[in-house]
Structure formats: structure tokens, C-alpha cells
Amino acid sequence: MSDVNPVLIVGALVVSYFLGTIPSALIVSKRGGIDVTAAGSGNPGTSNVVRLLGWKYGLVVFVADVLKGSLAVGIGGWVAGERVSFFAYACGYAAVIGHTFPVTRKFHGGKGVATGGGAMYVLYPWMSLVLCTSWFVLRKATGKSAVASLIITIAVPIYVVFIRRVLWEDFAALGLVVLIVLRHIPNIKRLRNKEENAA
């Protein structure tokens, strides 16, 4: 990275952030005649779109959000010259932050699960495939997307500990997980009070 143009580094981070801000849920839900931020839970994410418009619309949002994270990490890996690299992680972080705190929507965004999952798919594809499958199983078993999302999110750093090559990967994965879990604090409170919506 020391020989990479600083302008390219900053540019990659900025592009990654603004990739994250693309309002997938808003665009898709408006095609369905609904403002996702003004209905259901008000969260501009896959679960709320599924709740309001069904799985077909939700799947489009999910894929779009995953692509945001994947593209960001791909950009970071290309700049760094290595797929699993500190800078690839940094671009993944930028996309998740853009999704959860979009400057284009007064910093009110989604929870970051799908975008974070997209980032992890490029970094650790086998883990991501297993966890993605697990999400659907857990969602079916519990009836609650928040529970499934929290379980697979917490599983990420555990997996990375076993397969990582260098120590910083553990902390990088853990930091991303902490960011996503913090965004789920309202859901955790509702789960504790048995008020969390299904879907």
C-alpha cells in the first residue's frame, strides 16, 4: 500500500461510502407504491420491505445491499493488490457506514447486515455461504429476522478466529460486528420486551 497513490486510496474510500448510501430499499419500495421509511418499522432494509411488500421485493433489496458491500471490498482489494487486506476491510467498513449513516438521508439508514454480508462474501466466501444459508434457517425457525441477523453476525468473528492468517483480521471482523450489533440495539430491546415484529 505504501506505493499506492494517496488520491486513489481516498477515492476508493469515498466511492465505497457512497456505494453504501445507495437507498436500495427506498428505490424498490417506491416501485411497489410504498415509502418504506414511513411504514412498518420505518427501517430502510430488507426485513421491512419483506414485511410490507413480500419476498420478491425484499430479495431485490437484499441482493442490491449485498452488492454494495461486495463492490466496496472488491475496490479495496484491487487498490491494495490483495483480496483479504486491511484496505479491503476499510472499504467494507466505509460501505457499511454509508448504508447505516448515509449523509444523503440525514444519517438515517439501515442496519448494515446485508451490506456487511456482501463485504464478508468477498473476504470469506465459504463462511458467507454457510451463514447466509443459516440466516434463512434461523429466520424460519424463530420467525424473526432480527434474531437470525444477530446470531449470524456474532458468528462471523468466531469463524475468522479459526481461519485468519494475521491477528488484525480478528479485530477487523469484530469491529464490523460491533457496529452492526449496535445498530440492532432497538431490536434487542424489543426482543427483550417481546415486542419485535416478525419477518
Q: Is residue 115 part of a domain?
A: yes
Q: How far is Cα 14 from Cα 71, in angstroms, rounded to an integer?
A: 13
On the question of pLDDT at 108 being above 80, the answer is yes
Given this model, what pLDDT does residue 195 score? 63
Span 45-71, average pLDDT: 92
Is residue 132 classed exposed, middle or buried when 0-12, 13-18 and 19+ CB atoms within 10 A define those classes?
A: middle
Write phi, then psi, for 56 (nearest 5 degrees). Answer: -60, -45
Q: Is residue 185 part of a domain?
A: yes
Q: How far is Cα 39 from Cα 81, in angstroms, rounded to an integer?
A: 43
Q: How far is Cα 105 from Cα 16, in angstroms, rounded to an integer?
A: 16
Q: Is residue 137 part of a domain?
A: yes
Q: Is residue 1 part of a domain?
A: no
**pTM of the prediction?**
0.87
Name the residue with higher pLDDT: 181 or 99.
99
Q: What's the domain count of the chain?
A: 1
On the question of pLDDT at 199 being above 60, the answer is no
C-alpha cell at 141: 425457525
Contact 70, 121 (CB under 8 A): yes
Q: Is residue 199 part of a domain?
A: no
Q: Is residue 198 part of a domain?
A: no
Q: 184 is in which domain, residue-wise?
A: 6-192
Q: Is residue 88 part of a domain?
A: yes
Is residue 170 classed exposed, middle or buried when 0-12, 13-18 and 19+ CB atoms within 10 A define those classes?
A: middle
Q: How far is Cα 107 from Cα 18, in angstroms, rounded to an integer?
A: 12
Q: Is residue 197 part of a domain?
A: no
